[in-house]
Amino acid sequence: MNDVMAPGAVAALREHGVRVPDDVSLAGFDDIPTLCDLTPGLSTVRLPLGDG
């Protein structure tokens, strides 16, 4: 999932009684710095497309 969507996904899972990361794990894409305070921390992928 996109990192921008991660906080909403975590909140929705918690509302349904799903424990993150005990019951399900999330991984993101984009590695945006604003998620550094997300608990639990998000595993994310950085793909620097402009560096090639």
Please answer whether residues 6 and 41 qualify as being in contact, where contact means their C-beta atoms are separated by less than 8 angstroms.
no
pLDDT in tens, the chain (52 residues): 688 898 899 999 999 999 999 999 988 888 888 888 888 888 888 877 776 5
pLDDT at 38 (0 to 100): 82
Provide the domain count of the chain: 1
| Enclosing domain of residue 8 | 3-51
Please answer whether residues 24 and 13 qualify as being in contact, where contact means their C-beta atoms are separated by less than 8 angstroms.
yes
Task: Write down the pTM of the prediction.
Answer: 0.75
Token representation of residue 48: 């620097």
Please answer whether residues 27 and 2 qualify as being in contact, where contact means their C-beta atoms are separated by less than 8 angstroms.
no
pLDDT at 16 (0 to 100): 98
